[in-house]
Amino acid sequence: MTEWQNRELASAQELAKRGSEALRQGNTAAAEQVFGEVEALLDMSPDAVRTEEEQEGALRLRAQLYNELGVLNQRKNDVAKSREYHERSIEICEQLREAGVEFRANSAATHLNLSSVLAAADEIEEALELGRKSVALIEELRGEGEKTIDALALGAYQNMSLLYARGEDFEASAAQMEKSIDLVNELAEGGEQRGLPQAAQTAQRLSVMQFEAGQHELALEWGKKAEKLAEAAYEGLGKDVLPIYVVSQINLISYNEQLGYFADAEDALWKGLEVSSNHVDILRRGLGFYDSVRKQADERLAEGNLPREEVEEGRNDLLAIIEKMGGLPEPAPAPAAN
């Protein structure tokens, strides 16, 4: 390869970094333009004029480029293009691995990304197959002591958990989510807390799927796990993640109410209000809770450990808070359909 061709490849690598940064910042138009320039540079020199080492470098860059273009097109809701780019990236990843090149981390990331694309397109079986390949590669690397793969592992386990849940295989779903929770807690103990919010939200989604499938006790179990993760996220990362905690408490009110655990539902309500400084969404859900349980028979309330007088007392306390703040604001309108 000539000195000019070396500079060409170095320029392509530098441009790819700029494109990746633009994509991370949400500037898809700029990223797409830069990635187009990268691909043009790679196409300028055929592999025949490159040494084996130089071919490897170009293939690595092209695999990364196609993975990024897959992500970019997923964000543009172009499933067909996203799938095409991810599949091209996987093909190159396999080519590199067959040649003895260590490229498992990149391959795992691309398999995970394509799994996510296909899950969004309701192609669950293929998404599961890709997700399993991603997890297998990740666990190989983690078994060898590779720690830089941990963030990817969190996403891979959570992806598999939700995929299994969509098929109502809640046992397999829980096993994958437990792996994610174990890892996120391990990272948090070491001072890395950024994985907590996503883990909390995934546990919330899992609990909602269980609830909608009629698995109410299981939903409550995972609702509590989501609450614990949300609390840790809020304590470690502050008010930016408060909305995640609010959702956890609202879910727990609903799950306990559905099961007739009225006292526990009330406990979730007041705990949520205390932690969130009377968040309006919890106030609104609490008012709905009291209005609902007031319609229950006295025997049913007693079975739920929340006698009628305590219902009325709690409702009056809630109304006093709402009155003091000048009433509840109108709920935000739902976003318009595209």
273-300: pLDDT as tens digits: 999 999 999 999 999 999 999 999 999 9
Domains of the chain: 1-121 (1.25.40), 260-330 (no CATH)
Output the CA–CA distances (angstroms, integers) from residue 186 to 1, 118, 192, 278, in the order listed: 47, 30, 9, 32
Asked if pLDDT for residue 5 goes beyond 50, the answer is: yes
Q: What's the sign of the alpha-carbon dihedral 91, 93, 96, 98? A: negative
Torsion, CA 39, CA 42, CA 48, CA 51, rounded to 10: -140
Q: From CA 71, how far away is CA 313, in angstroms rounded?
A: 53
Asked if pLDDT for residue 260 goes beyond 90, the answer is: yes
Please give the pLDDT value at position 331.
78
CB-facing half-sphere around the CA of 27: CA atoms within 13 A: 11
Asked if pLDDT for residue 53 goes beyond 80, the answer is: no
Q: 99: alpha, beta or left, given left = phi > 0 and alpha = psi -120 to 50?
A: alpha
Q: From CA 63, how far away is CA 61, in angstroms rounded?
A: 5
Query: Residues 90-125: pLDDT tens digits?
Result: 999 999 999 999 999 999 999 999 999 999 999 999
Comparing 57 with 175, the larger pLDDT belongs to 175
Please give the pLDDT value at position 10.
85
Output the CA–CA distances (angstroms, integers) from residue 34 to 19, 31, 68, 73, 321, in the order listed: 5, 5, 11, 14, 54
Query: Residues 14-45: pLDDT tens digits?
Result: 999 999 999 999 999 999 999 999 999 888 86
Q: From CA 304, how far away is CA 292, in angstroms rounded?
A: 13
Q: Which of 46-60, 179-193, 262-276 has the lowest mean pLDDT?
A: 46-60
State what percent of residues in the chain have pLDDT above 70: 94
The tokens describing 270, both together, are 């007041």
pTM listed for this prediction? 0.90
In the numeric block, the tokens 């196609």 are attached to 66
Please give the pLDDT value at position 51.
64
Output the CA–CA distances (angstroms, integers) from residue 162 to 47, 53, 73, 186, 334, in the order listed: 41, 40, 22, 22, 25
Please give the pLDDT value at position 1.
46
Asked if pLDDT for residue 304 goes beyond 80, the answer is: yes
Q: Could you tell me if 92 and 66 are in contact, meaning their C-beta atoms sit under 8 angstroms apart?
A: yes
Give the pLDDT mean for 211-237.
Answer: 98
Count the neighbouring beta carbons within 10 Å of the beta carbon of residue 272: 25
Comparing 65 with 337, the larger pLDDT belongs to 65
Torsion, CA 243, CA 267, CA 288, CA 231, rounded to 10: 10
pLDDT averaged over every residue in the chain: 93
Give the pLDDT mean for 322-327.
Answer: 94
